[in-house]
Structure 1
Amino acid sequence: MYVPMSPPPVITANNNTSTSLNVGENPSSNTMFDRYSAAAKRYKYLRRLLKFRQMDFEFAIWQVIHLFIAPQKVFRAFQYRKQTKNQWARDDPAFLVLLMIFLVVSSVVIGLVLGMGFFGIVKLVLWVVLVDCVLVGLLISTIYWYIANRYLIANPKSNVDVEWAYCFDVHLNAVLPLLAILHVGQLPFLNSFAVSTGFLYCIIGNTVWAIAVGYYIYILFLGFSALPFLRNVHVLLYPLTGLLLTYILSIIVRWNFTQMIVTFYEYRVGHKRLP
């Protein structure tokens, strides 16, 4: 005999953040379902990393372009994904693949400009991709995930929370313009920035760094502002004050950030610059 099944729980999130469950539903079972669903989504995402034909690179390129000219539109696409697929995070790794390709190519070019050998360039690529992008990205995403869920949820008593994968996507959206500005914007003058102690080079190099980091913070702010169940997201812009003070102080004492980073990378890859 056919027995009609009750519909799945409907979870609605807005500025007041209300959550409704079916009558008689066990909240703990709903949490178990959410965890399984998140694990299944991560597994599906990782599987698609090796299936290039299933990736939407056209849409990924659209996102890359609009992160520079209209980043708000990128996060509107995230809102649309939530409405259609019931998840905030990307389900297509095409954007991540494009980011990795950019990091590899730009790191190789930087290694060539700095005169690193073959093995030095390989070490530089591995360091930039695995440490700067992946490991640092995991750390930053986890920190913002904790802050958002601990302090920014409008209704802490609700079952709505910020997806960790979405935090990682927001970081990827922010780190691509940052690295593009640093890797491409400084490339023609990289050797001059790295070896010169002149005041002008310090101003130019540190200004590029300030713009890149400031834009990174702004993209993070836009990403979390797109979530309707968060409040007081403007606090994520507070680091801009520290950035401005650091920039002014660096100019006064002539800290050349580019010179420091180049020296750090050359030390890590074992490259010794000729006098």
Structure 2
Amino acid sequence: MLPTTSPHSNGDPSPRDAARHTAGAKRYKYLRRLLYFRQMDFEFAIWQMLYLFTSPQRVYRNFHYRKQTKDQWARDDPAFLVLLSIWLCVSTIGFGLVLDMGVMETVKLLLWVVFVDCIGVGLLISTVMFISNKYLLKHPSRNFDVEWGYAFDVHLNAFYPLLVILHFLQLFFINPLPFLTNTVVLLYPFALLGLLYILSISLGWNFTQGLCWFYKYRVK
């Protein structure tokens, strides 16, 4: 995207427009920084990971601040992706140890989790969201569109808490009992819960409100 000129600048681009880059330039800058660890702000990436659990709105306020200062919603630093990949590697190795997997099986699982579950799915989702610029924009404009990189960042932000819960905390609760059989029977009641959920939506029944009323009138 070429910089535009301000009517009051005698043909010179404004500072905001001069700082604006094309999507290709932004992508090249992001990928190039993957090769230079010293240029990555890992401290800030750790801060984002912490607040994705405790105060997610602060992370998204930072995206808004980046849009105002750098004219882009997406991260321009791949430090978050690098740390997330390291987390995936560590958690996958933990899975391999807990489940008594072989070295090659663990490596295959690691490659699958990192490059398919995380990056591959993220690329697919980001591309679908990027296509929305063509079909879903209310008023098409260069200044108001979905950035491909921002869609990818949203995927990473959502993937990280799920990673910690399922790939890290869950490891401490995996306790197989080899002397039991047909343990899948214990999961059957969840099918009933799913049916109740569908019925509550179709009937307009607020289960949470009903539960609150139950506790309130039980003690009266």
TM-score (norm 1): 0.59
Pair 1:248 & 2:194 matched:
yes
Q: Is the 8 A contact 1:104 1:129 kept in 2?
A: yes
State the SS of the aligned residue for 2:166.
helix
Q: Which amino acid aligns with 1:158?
A: S
Instruction: Report deviation, 1:99.
Output: 0.2
Partners in 1 of 2:78 and 2:25 — Cα distance? Answer: 15
The match for 2:74 among 89, 92, 95 is: 89
Q: Which runs of 4+ in 1 moved over 6 A?
A: 193-196
Partners in 2 of 1:67 and 1:117 — Cα distance? Answer: 34
- Tell me which residue corresponds to 2:45: 60
Q: What does residue range 74-113 of structure 1 map to in structure 2 within 5 Å?
A: 74-113=59-98
The match for 2:155 among 171, 174, 181 is: 171
Partners in 2 of 1:144 and 1:176 — Cα distance? Answer: 19
Partners in 1 of 2:32 and 2:121 — Cα distance? Answer: 23
State the SS of the aligned residue for 2:75.
coil
Instruction: Kindly provide the CA deviation profile for residues 151-205 of structure 1, in whole angstroms up to 9, marking residues without a partner as x.
Output: 2x3x4243321101100000000011112111123212335399862555x389x
- Tell me which residue corresponds to 1:236: none
Q: Which amino acid aligns with 2:139?
A: P
Pair 1:69 & 2:15 matched:
no
Partners in 2 of 1:104 and 1:158 — Cα distance? Answer: 41
- Tell me which residue corresponds to 1:150: 135
Q: Which amino acid aligns with 2:156?
A: L
The answer for unaligned runs of 5 or more in structure 2 is 1-8, 198-220
State the SS of the aligned residue for 2:141.
coil
Q: CA distance change for structure 1 residues 246 and 53 in 2, over 3 Å: closer, same or farther?
A: farther
Q: What does residue range 1-275 of structure 1 map to in structure 2 within 5 Å?
A: 4-8=10-14, 37-147=22-132, 150-151=135-136, 153=137, 155-159=138-142, 160-190=144-174, 192=176, 197-198=183-184, 200=186, 202=187, 248-249=194-195
Partners in 2 of 1:108 and 1:166 — Cα distance? Answer: 30
Instruction: Report deviation, 1:148.
Output: 6.3
State the SS of the aligned residue for 2:176.
helix
The answer for unaligned runs of 5 or more in structure 1 is 12-33, 207-244, 252-275
Partners in 2 of 1:113 and 1:250 — Cα distance? Answer: 35
Give the count of matched residue pairs: 185
Q: Is the 8 A contact 1:113 1:191 kept in 2?
A: no
Instruction: Kindly provide the CA deviation profile for residues 9-67 of structure 1, in whole angstroms up to 9, marking residues without a partner as x.
Output: 978xxxxxxxxxxxxxxxxxxxxxx8x61111111111111211111111100100111
**Deviates most, 136-145 or 171-180:** 136-145
Partners in 1 of 2:75 and 2:120 — Cα distance? Answer: 19
Q: CA distance change for structure 1 residues 52 and 247 in 2, over 3 Å: closer, same or farther?
A: farther
Instruction: Report deviation, 1:69.
Output: 0.9
TM-score (norm 2): 0.73
Q: Which amino acid aligns with 1:102?
A: W
- Tell me which residue corresponds to 2:3: none
Identity of aligned residues (%): 57
Q: Is the 8 A contact 2:88 2:110 kept in 1?
A: yes
State the SS of the aligned residue for 2:119.
helix
Q: CA distance change for structure 1 residues 140 and 193 in 2, over 3 Å: closer, same or farther?
A: farther
